[in-house]
Amino acid sequence: MSVVERTSDAERASDNVRIRSGYSIKSILGARETVLLLVSITFSIILSFLSPRFLSVNNLVSIATGMTYDVIMATGMTLVLIVGGIDLSVGSILGLTGVVTTMMLRSGVSIAVSVTAGLMLGVLLGAINGTMISNFKINPFIVTLGMMAIARGAAVVLTSGYFLSNLPPSYLILGQGKLLGIPFPIYVMLLLVILFEYLLKNWSPLYTIFYIGTNPDAAELSGIKVGRMILACYVISGFLSALAGVFMTSRLAMGYAQFGLGAELRAIAASVIGGASMSGGEGSIGGTFLGVLLLAIINNGFVLLNFSVYWQGVVNGLILVLAVAVDAFRRARRGERRI
Amino acid sequence: MADVVLSINGITKSFAGNKVLDDINLEIQRGSVHALVGENGAGKSTLVKIVGGIYQPDSGTICMNGKTVHFAGPHDAINHGISIVHQELSLVPKMSIAQNVFSHREPVNRLGFIKWAELYRKTRELLKPLGLDIDPGRPVGGLSVGVQQLIEIAKALSTDARVLILDEPTSALSEKEVDMLYKVINDLKSRGVTSIFISHKLPEVFRVSDVISVLRDGRLVGTVRKEATTPEEIIRMMVGRPLGDLYPPKSSRVGERILSVENMTRVPAFRDVSLELFRGEILGFAGLVGSGRTEVARAIFGADRIDSGRIMLGGREVKIGSPRDAIRHGICYLTEDRKDLGLFLTKTVRSNIVASSLSKFVTRNGFLRKHEIEESSRYFVDYFRLKPSDDRALVMNLSGGNQQKALLAKWICAGPKVLIADEPTRGVDVGAKSEIHRHLRQLAESGVGVIVISSELPELLGLSDRIAVFNSGRIAAFIDGKGATQEDVMRYATL
């Protein structure tokens, strides 16, 4: 017994040294973000040898622009995953809110009002998701699967399947305008990533979603506002999906019911690649951003190397399953009961 | 000897090195009602599970009708005529009575199709002697717990059971249903069926049984005929062990009233509970499992709604609608189930320690003051001598004792005025246990009102200044912690 105590004192001393030294090189290199960045860079180097077009400014800007919608949606998805849920309706909410915004614009409503209405519709749909899940305790998978079908269906009904073009030119500036040669949406995307990464780690209300996702019962008994934060995550997810819808319709100068098709899959894949766990309580916005980046580089490679675009869905699906499998394996090895 | 149907010879059983049963020898007379009594954890359930073939004994034998039998599983026991009616009902709510009674043993024709008419006829035949005249095609789900219990018995009898084991059959029953059950047990007795009856409740043991065996700490203390004993003697046999002075000294001074609960009711968990808690004292909650101790604690903490009653804090009535309200008023509750309801296992020690006190570590705009979080968490890690001493270790990698100390740290960090600790030392080794006792006493000395709930009577007697004894959802008595004996507590808890 006394031997044990003596060694524990020694251990404590060495622990204290370790704590004071702060971030070690090992902890930086071992971080998932670093690994993701290295993998992305490796892919980029390989691609730049395979295709000289890869490193062209045009191509890089187009990768970054293409990423914005996924990053914005995946940010919301990551919050939802951390709080222990899932949101399958992000792509459909993008489609529906985009359609509603463009329809209002075409009927002469001002840009400010149309955009606000689109965003508020996203908030409303997210609030419906969140209320069903947090108040009525309905399975998030089912609730958002239903919302996915409803929102997409509504968008198709509203447009009868047609493209909605002829939007006011000043609306197109939102998605196409540039500052210092870089499109506006890229600034917004980066701003959102930094903002949410910072809030998630430092702002108390958002920080509590890690507790909720890890153990909702214990969180409730610790005095954390469980229901309210679950609702908030789905609302944020709905809002960000609608924001992506505004940028997409502006960038492509039209509204279309099928915009955002399959986006939920990429958003989930990116979040999990970036460190989010399907069983809640883990994830980071920075990691998610890098997850989208990795997917974007891979998909860009498909285009540059003239592979059939039709294979992209197959590859994205494979990446999703692989990322989730790795996550499950990691947890099983750590000895967690729930996988 | 007279007609012995079942004899248990030298049964010993350990789980993970803990001896749960130690050399049990017991003879059960044919056609008798034999009661098994003892404190929680005395080994009653383990013993009947061995007799029912669910567990294998480490050593010892079981003889039926004079012949040694070996049960490889519940199936073997059933084939020998032994059936258990478990404490938790095992019926499938959506299926019919008949399907439940004959689950997996339905009469079938040569092609394997169920012969429904015969199934219903046989079920009716089994239900009749139990006083149940209901349609065997009805789903079990809508029936009362008492009727479900009788259907469980019918299920056991459908296997031609000669020995029926009832594991706390009355814990969920109303008084009327209990009467019905006794009648059934007596009927079975006249038909030559032997019953082994496990119960906490001494009045019913004395009412229904012929012979009583007492278990304590895995040993058989004795077997007596009902006529030859008294409830007092049985209680003495159940607890009879000396109390060591392993506990911190009792409170030196008790201050003003800090918490009072007036006529609090939540049907059916507890009724009309009133209590007072004074600054500087440790109040123990004693009572058997299901007596309402934990339910009262949860209600004070706002985790469960109350039907009526008042909670007063420092002389003023407070409305507590959620744990959040309770914590804001300084009422903290350390849950008995640390893994499912207490800790965030995959998070760090630091995250866990500040989990219920985040609001103390934020700026006006809600931003976390991480430096202060780190300082506080380090302080508590040192104070509780947690191992490992790195507060960034994941809680799931800590030992049980350290997890429990981390949980205690989490609540002390929240700055409680009242701390309710539910089974604070469950599953904890002896060393950590007395450390936790010391911390609880220090907390009380520093002016916090402490309530300790425990199933371990020695712990409760050693730690508490006063003990509230719960019995069937009411507080049966308040006992002074000094000089009280386990017999005193058990008497109020069981009678």
List domains and CATH numbers for chain B.
Answer: 4-242 (3.40.50.300), 256-494 (3.40.50.300)
DSSP string, A150-182: HHHHHHHHHHTT--B----HHHHHHHH-EETTE
Distance of alpha carbon B136 from alpha carbon B479, whole angstroms: 50
Distance of alpha carbon B58 from alpha carbon B97, whole angstroms: 37
pLDDT given at position A18: 39
| Residue written as token pair 């248990």 | B8
Asked if residue B341 lies in contact with residue A241, where contact means CB atoms within 8 angstroms, the answer is: no
The β-bridge relationship of strands B449-453 and B418-422 is parallel
pLDDT given at position A116: 95
Q: Which residue among A16, A207, A282 places its CB closest to the CB of B368? A: A207
Q: In angstroms, what separates the C-alpha of B350 from chain A's closest C-alpha?
A: 12
Q: Which region, left, alpha or beta, applies to residue A87 given φ > 0 means left and ψ of -120 to 50 means alpha?
A: beta
Per DSSP, A107 falls in state T
Q: Which of B283 and B339 is assigned the larger pLDDT?
A: B283
Chain B residues within 8 A of A26 when measuring between CB atoms: none
Residue A149 belongs to domain with CATH number: 1.10.3470
Q: Which residue among B301, B346, B368 places its CB closest to the CB of A204? A: B368
Distance of alpha carbon A113 from alpha carbon A101, whole angstroms: 9
Beta-carbon separation of B356 and A208 below 8 A: no
Asked if residue A288 lies in contact with residue A78, where contact means CB atoms within 8 angstroms, the answer is: yes
Distance of alpha carbon B145 from alpha carbon B107, whole angstroms: 27
Distance of alpha carbon B432 from alpha carbon A116, whole angstroms: 59
Nearest residue to B473 (alpha-carbon basis) of B264, B301, B232: B264
Distance of alpha carbon B394 from alpha carbon B390, whole angstroms: 10
Checking if the pLDDT of A1 tops 50, the result is: no
Interface residues on A facing B, Cβ-Cβ cutoff 8 A: 1, 8, 11-12, 15-16, 18-19, 202-205, 207-208, 210-211, 214-215, 217-225, 281-282, 334-336
Q: Which residue among B343, B362, B387 places its CB closest to the CB of A218? A: B343
Beta-carbon separation of B341 and A281 below 8 A: no
Distance of alpha carbon A76 from alpha carbon A240, whole angstroms: 6
Number of A–B residue contacts, CB under 8 Å: 95
pLDDT given at position B45: 80
pLDDT given at position B407: 93
Q: How many CB atoms lie within 10 A of CB B15?
A: 11
Mutate to test the interface with B, among A6, A24, A203, A221 (most CBs of B within 10 A): A221
Phi, psi of A155, deg, nearest 5: -65, -40
Distance of alpha carbon A171 from alpha carbon A152, whole angstroms: 23
Distance of alpha carbon A119 from alpha carbon B83, whole angstroms: 64
Residue pLDDT, tens place only, B48-104: 888 988 888 888 999 988 888 888 888 888 888 888 887 666 788 788 888 888 877
Q: What is the mean pLDDT of residues A280-293?
A: 93
Per DSSP, B107 falls in state -
Q: What band does A3 get if pLDDT is binned at 50, 70 and 90? A: very low
pLDDT given at position B88: 65
Most confident of A112-126, B122-136, B279-293, B315-329: A112-126
Distance of alpha carbon B129 from alpha carbon B136, whole angstroms: 14
For the sheet with B4-15, list strands across it: B18-29, B4-15, B59-64, B67-69
Is there a domain that residue A28 lies in? no
pLDDT given at position B16: 59
Distance of alpha carbon A246 from alpha carbon A238, whole angstroms: 13
Q: In angstroms, what separates the C-alpha of B342 from chain A's closest C-alpha?
A: 5
Q: In angstroms, what separates the C-alpha of A212 from chain B's closest C-alpha?
A: 9
Max Cα distance, chain A (Å): 83
Q: How many CB atoms lie within 10 A of CB B44?
A: 24
| Residue written as token pair 């993998």 | A39
Each residue of B271-290: b (16+ CB within 10 Å) or e? bebebbbbbbbbbbbbbbeb
Domain count, chain A: 1
Cβ burial of A291 (10 Å; 0-12, 13-18, 19+) is buried
pLDDT given at position A9: 41
Chain B residues within 8 A of A222 when measuring between CB atoms: 323, 327, 355-356, 410
pLDDT given at position B81: 87
Is there a domain that residue A211 lies in? yes
Q: Strand locations in chain A, DSSP E?
A: 178-179, 182-183
Nearest residue to B468 (alpha-carbon basis) of B450, B481, B455: B481
Q: Residue B61: which H helix or E strand, with range?
A: strand B59-64
Is there a domain that residue A338 lies in? no
Cα angle for residues A262, A156, A137 (degrees, 5° grid): 60
Cα angle for residues A12, A18, A24 (degrees, 5° grid): 160
Q: What band does A29 get if pLDDT is binned at 50, 70 and 90? A: low
Chain A residues within 8 A of B365 when measuring between CB atoms: 203
Amino acid at A301: G
Beta-carbon separation of A217 and B347 below 8 A: no
Is there a domain that residue A26 lies in? no
Residue pLDDT, tens place only, A231-247: 999 999 999 999 999 99
Is there a domain that residue A339 lies in? no
Chain A residues within 8 A of B396 when measuring between CB atoms: 334-336
Beta-carbon separation of A210 and B351 below 8 A: yes
Asked if residue B360 lies in contact with residue B338, where contact means CB atoms within 8 angstroms, the answer is: no
Distance of alpha carbon B272 from alpha carbon B290, whole angstroms: 16
Amino acid at A199: L
Whether a cis peptide bond, with omega within 30° of 0, leads into B107 is no
Is there a domain that residue A223 lies in? yes
Measured CA distances, B374 to A159, B364, B381, B383, B461 (Å):
55, 19, 10, 14, 37
Beta-carbon separation of A15 and B390 below 8 A: yes
Distance of alpha carbon B216 from alpha carbon B220, whole angstroms: 6
Cβ burial of A27 (10 Å; 0-12, 13-18, 19+) is exposed
| Residue written as token pair 């209002």 | A104
| Residue written as token pair 């609030």 | A127
| Residue written as token pair 């498909």 | A302
Mutate to test the interface with A, among B389, B403, B435 (most CBs of A within 10 A): B389
pLDDT given at position B268: 85
Chain A residues within 8 A of B392 when measuring between CB atoms: 19
Distance of alpha carbon B494 from alpha carbon B306, whole angstroms: 25
Chain B residues within 8 A of A220 when measuring between CB atoms: 303, 322-323
Exposure of B436 in the CB half-sphere (CA atoms within 13 A): 27
Mean residue pLDDT of chain A comes to: 86
Sequence-distant (≥ 6) Cβ neighbours of residue B105 within 8 angstroms: B158, B159
Per DSSP, B250 falls in state P
- Which residues 429-488 in chain B show a CB within 8 A of chain A? 431
Q: Where are the alpha helices (DSSP H) in A21-83?
A: 25-30, 32-50, 57-82
For residue A116, the SS3 value is helix
pLDDT given at position A88: 96
Q: In angstroms, what separates the C-alpha of B252 from chain A's closest C-alpha?
A: 31
Beta-carbon separation of B368 and A225 below 8 A: no
Q: Is B88 on the interface with A (CB under 8 A)?
A: no
Q: Which residue among B347, B361, B366 places its CB closest to the CB of A203? A: B366
Q: Which residue among A15, A224, A335 places its CB closest to the CB of B389? A: A15
Beta-carbon separation of B324 and A335 below 8 A: no
Asked if residue A284 lies in contact with residue A33, where contact means CB atoms within 8 angstroms, the answer is: yes
Residue pLDDT, tens place only, B400-454: 788 889 999 999 998 899 999 998 887 776 667 878 888 999 888 888 999 999 8
Residue pLDDT, tens place only, B304-353: 999 999 999 988 999 998 999 999 999 999 988 888 888 998 899 999 99
Q: Residue B419: which H helix or E strand, with range?
A: strand B418-422
Q: What band does A83 get if pLDDT is binned at 50, 70 and 90? A: very high
Enter the pTM of the model: 0.71
Distance of alpha carbon A42 from alpha carbon A48, whole angstroms: 10
pLDDT given at position B435: 84
Q: Which residue among A12, A224, A335 places its CB closest to the CB of B389? A: A12
Per DSSP, B340 falls in state I
Distance of alpha carbon B419 from alpha carbon B411, whole angstroms: 8
The β-bridge relationship of strands B211-216 and B33-37 is parallel
> C-alpha B328: how far from its chain's center?
30
| Residue written as token pair 């993008």 | A94
Sign of CA dihedral A298, A304, A305, A308: positive
Chain A residues within 8 A of B327 when measuring between CB atoms: 222-223
Distance of alpha carbon B149 from alpha carbon B400, whole angstroms: 37
Is there a domain that residue A27 lies in? no
Nearest residue to B330 (alpha-carbon basis) of B279, B366, B262, B274: B279
Amino acid at B73: G
pLDDT given at position A25: 55
- State both tokens at B230: 């008294």
Cβ burial of B175 (10 Å; 0-12, 13-18, 19+) is exposed
Is there a domain that residue A327 lies in? yes
Q: In angstroms, what separates the C-alpha of A130 from chain B's closest C-alpha?
A: 20
Measured CA distances, B124 to B81, B128, B160 (Å):
21, 6, 15
Q: Directed axis angle between helix B430-445 and helix B400-413, to 10°?
A: 10
Q: What band does B484 get if pLDDT is binned at 50, 70 and 90? A: confident
Beta-carbon separation of B346 and A214 below 8 A: yes
End-to-end Cα separation, chain A, in angstroms: 37
Residue pLDDT, tens place only, A159-214: 987 888 888 888 988 888 888 888 899 999 999 999 999 999 999 899 999 999 99
Mutate to test the interface with B, among A8, A222, A333, A336 (most CBs of B within 10 A): A222
Which percentage of chain B shows pLDDT scores above 70? 94
Q: In angstroms, what separates the C-alpha of A51 from chain B's closest C-alpha?
A: 44
End-to-end Cα separation, chain B, in angstroms: 33
Total length of chain A: 339
Distance of alpha carbon B193 from alpha carbon B186, whole angstroms: 9
Beta-carbon separation of A221 and B359 below 8 A: no
pLDDT given at position A92: 96
Which percentage of chain A shows pLDDT scores above 70? 89
Distance of alpha carbon A56 from alpha carbon A47, whole angstroms: 12
Expressed as residue numbers, the domain containing A169 is 3-21+33-333
Q: Residue B177: which H helix or E strand, with range?
A: helix B175-190
For residue B133, the SS3 value is coil
